[in-house]
Structure 1
Amino acid sequence: MDRLTEMEAFATVVDQGGFTDAAKKMGISKSAVSKHVSSLEARLGARLLNRTTRRVSPTEIGLAYYDRARRVLNDAGEADALVTSMQSAPSGLLRISVATDFGVNLLSPILGDFLLEYPEITVNMVLNNRYVELISEGFDMAIRVGELEDSTLRARKLTETAKRMVGAPSYFQKYGRPQKIDDLNEHKLLHYSNQAAGNVWKITAPSGEKRQVRTAGWLTVNDGQSLLNAAISGLGIAYLPSFLYADALSKGLVEEAIPELPVETLGIYAVYPPGRFTQPKVRAFIDFLAQSFSDKGPNDW
């Protein structure tokens, strides 16, 4: 006989307190339940149930076996539910955390296409510029740019973005153009206030050496688009990802501050909580993003 069916019959007898109620629960005859339990006891070579005319109860060995059998049965049920879930159409509420710059400029324009493709999914996209705890704050996933800090999360790389220092032609005409990293100390830098290290730029020198630059500027703000707007206005030099400055660079509104420096490349990732399987709604959105950004790269924005 099937081992899992034998386990189920035995566990159901214990749960229901007898063969008659167990048979009703399983939708089979009382004799069939009895046969399954007898077969299990014969295979194990042990008596699992104490049977009297009034009641049925597990023996000491039977109780220990019941605990393990119930776990196996629960796992089997979860496995069946997993297959059903993964084959079902993605649905439900999808909560996403994303930095304001990326969300406004890149996600918002394509969300409509995703919702039309998956009408059973509703999206709650939270735009903020702080590091969120996905599980404790109830997010299904997040989009993160740069080095991943939490190694416990699962992640899929979507694409890459370059990071460069840019300023307006009018700024360089007025204040001159820096020729090397040390020259930045004499310039007005536009800072992003949510940096963990404060107003510090980490820059790679032509030699490959990692340098840090800290200097004051006219503006510190927690929004990259505002920094770009300030740079276009001639207020200083901003250090921004290419998905923000690419259009302004192509139109001549900004120029690279020190073109000779190595280009910093940052990964863009979809991150989501660890688990045995990925929820269909999360998997659908990540696949959609990967397809949407398949033609993007460090300098292709």
Structure 2
Amino acid sequence: MDRLTEMEAFATVVDQGGFTDAAKKMGISKSAVSKHVSALEARLGARLLNRTTRRVSPTEIGLAYYDRARRVLNDAGEADALVTSMQSAPSGLLRISVATDFGVNHLSPVLGEFLSEFPDITVNMVLNNRYVELISEGFDMAVRIGELEDSTLRARKLTETTKKMVGSPAYFQKYGRPQKIDDLNEHKLLHYSNQANSAVWKLTAPSGEKRQVRTAGWLTVNDGQSLLNACVSGLGIAYLPSFLYADAMKQGLVEEAIPDLPPETQGIYAVYPPGRFTQPKVRAFIDFLVNSFAEKGPEIW
């Protein structure tokens, strides 16, 4: 007889308190349940059930075996559900957290195509610039930029972006162009306030030396697009990711402040909670993003 069926028959008898109710639960005859349990006891060489005319209860050995058997049966049920789930069409509510700048400029424009491809999925995209606890705050996934702080999350790289210091031609004409990192002390630097340690720019000199520049000064903004707008209008030099400055640079609205400096490269990742399997709706969206950004970054946006 099938070992899993024997275990199921025994566990169901314990759960239901008798063979008659166990047979109803399993949809088989009472005699079939009895044969499965008897075969299990014979194979194990132990009596698992105390049988009386009034009731059936597990023996001490039977109770210990029941705990393990129930775990095995639950795992088997989850395995079956996993296969069913992974073969089903992605559906349900998908809650996404993403930084405002990237969400507005690059995620929002592609959502329509995703929703058309997966009409059974509804999306709730939350734009903010703070670190979000995915599980406790009820998010299915997030798009994050830069070094990943939470090593417990699963992550898939979507693309890369570079960070450069940029300013408008009008600014450089009025205030001059810095030639080296130390020259930044004499310039008007635009401060992005919504990131940890954002008051300090971490730069790399042409020699490879790591340098830090304190930027708190003339203008502080908590939104990257607004910072770019201020930069374009000639208010100062900003340190921005390429997914923000690329179009403005292509149009000649901004220029790199110190072209000799090597660019800082950051990864852009889809992150999601750990688990035995990825929900179809999450897997579908991440696959979609990988395809959407396959030919973008680090400078091409």
Question: Matched residues in 2 for 1:188 and 1:264: separation?
Answer: 21
Mean Cα deviation higher: 180-189 or 206-215: 206-215
- 1:155 partner amino acid: A
Q: Provide the identity percentage.
A: 90
Question: Matched residues in 2 for 1:205 and 1:277: separation?
Answer: 44
1:130 to 2:130 alignment: yes
CA RMSD of aligned residues (A): 0.7
Within-5 A mapping of 1:135-146: 135-146=135-146
1:204 to 2:201 alignment: no
Quote the offset at 1:299 in angstroms. Answer: 1.1
Within-5 A mapping of 1:65-104: 65-104=65-104
Quote the offset at 1:50 in angstroms. Answer: 0.6
The corresponding residue for 1:28 is 28
Deviations 1:160-219 (Å, cap 9, x if unpaired)?
Answer: 011110000000001000000000011111111022124110001111111000144321
The corresponding residue for 1:114 is 114
- 2:255 partner amino acid: E
- Unpaired segments ≥5 residues, structure 1: none
Question: Matched residues in 2 for 1:256 and 1:263: separation?
Answer: 10
The corresponding residue for 2:52 is 52
Is the 1:225–1:244 contact (alpha carbons within 8 Å) kept by the matching residues of 2? Answer: yes
Question: Matched residues in 2 for 1:169 and 1:182: separation?
Answer: 21
The corresponding residue for 2:250 is 250
The corresponding residue for 2:194 is 194
1:269 to 2:269 alignment: yes
Question: Matched residues in 2 for 1:197 and 1:69: separation?
Answer: 53
Deviations 1:6-59 (Å, cap 9, x if unpaired)?
Answer: 000000011111111111110001111010000000000000001111111110
Is the 2:189–2:217 contact (alpha carbons within 8 Å) kept by the matching residues of 1? Answer: yes
The corresponding residue for 2:42 is 42
The corresponding residue for 2:173 is 173
Question: Matched residues in 2 for 1:238 and 1:77: separation?
Answer: 55
Q: Helix, strand or coil: the match of 1:156?
A: strand
Quote the offset at 1:122 in angstroms. Answer: 0.3
**TM-score in terms of structure 1 length:** 0.99
Is the 1:165–1:256 contact (alpha carbons within 8 Å) kept by the matching residues of 2? Answer: yes
Deviations 1:71-98 (Å, cap 9, x if unpaired)?
Answer: 1111111111011001000000000000
The corresponding residue for 1:220 is 220
Is the 1:154–1:274 contact (alpha carbons within 8 Å) kept by the matching residues of 2? Answer: yes
Between the two proteins, the alignment pairs up a number of residues equal to: 301
Question: Matched residues in 2 for 1:218 and 1:70: separation?
Answer: 66
The corresponding residue for 1:12 is 12
Is the 2:130–2:195 contact (alpha carbons within 8 Å) kept by the matching residues of 1? Answer: no
Deviations 1:93-148 (Å, cap 9, x if unpaired)?
Answer: 00000000000000111100000100000000000010110011110000001111
Is the 2:129–2:195 contact (alpha carbons within 8 Å) kept by the matching residues of 1? Answer: no
Question: Matched residues in 2 for 1:46 and 1:32: separation?
Answer: 20
Is the 2:243–2:297 contact (alpha carbons within 8 Å) kept by the matching residues of 1? Answer: no
- 2:156 partner amino acid: R
Question: Matched residues in 2 for 1:121 and 1:232: separation?
Answer: 39
Is the 1:192–1:222 contact (alpha carbons within 8 Å) kept by the matching residues of 2? Answer: yes
Q: Helix, strand or coil: the match of 1:41?
A: helix
Question: Matched residues in 1 for 2:217 and 2:253: separation?
Answer: 20
- 2:20 partner amino acid: T
Quote the offset at 1:285 in angstroms. Answer: 0.2
The corresponding residue for 1:2 is 2
Within-5 A mapping of 1:230-249: 230-249=230-249
Is the 2:171–2:235 contact (alpha carbons within 8 Å) kept by the matching residues of 1? Answer: yes
- 1:216–1:25 CA distance, 2 compared to 1 (3 A): closer
